[in-house]
Amino acid sequence: MDDISLFGGIAGNFVDYGVWRGGSSMLSALTLIALNERERNIYLQDTFEGMPKLSDKDVDIHGVPYSKLWEQEREFLSVSLGDGPVFC
């Protein structure tokens, strides 16, 4: 989501591809809510099938293992969006 989409007169919903843990999507949703943009929805899309299995090499720069899907969902749901416009 960007300023052109919000303030440039472009109507419609948003699709966020490759959401991983959903941080940017949460920020986008909170922005829509703060601007009272209740007519727009955000559709989140990612793939969790067909990806290589995680190994001990799948860590961040600090050696922390990357999250699994259930951890991502839990983190996303921990942010209160009320009846916000997000669909997973």
The tens digit of pLDDT for each residue in 25-39 reads 888 888 888 888 888
Is the model more confident about 42 or about 2? 42
The predicted model gives 45-59 an average pLDDT of 72
Instruction: Supply the DSSP string of the chain, one letter for each residue.
Output: --HHHHHSS--S-EEEE--TT-HHHHHHHHHHHHTT-TT--EEEE---SSSPPP-TT-B-TTSPBPPPHHHHHHHHHTS--TT-SEE-
The predicted model gives 47-55 an average pLDDT of 69
Is the CA virtual torsion 73, 79, 82, 85 positive or negative? Answer: negative
Res 74 pLDDT > 70: no
Query: Which segment, 8-12, 18-22, 32-36, is predicted with the most confidence on average?
Result: 32-36
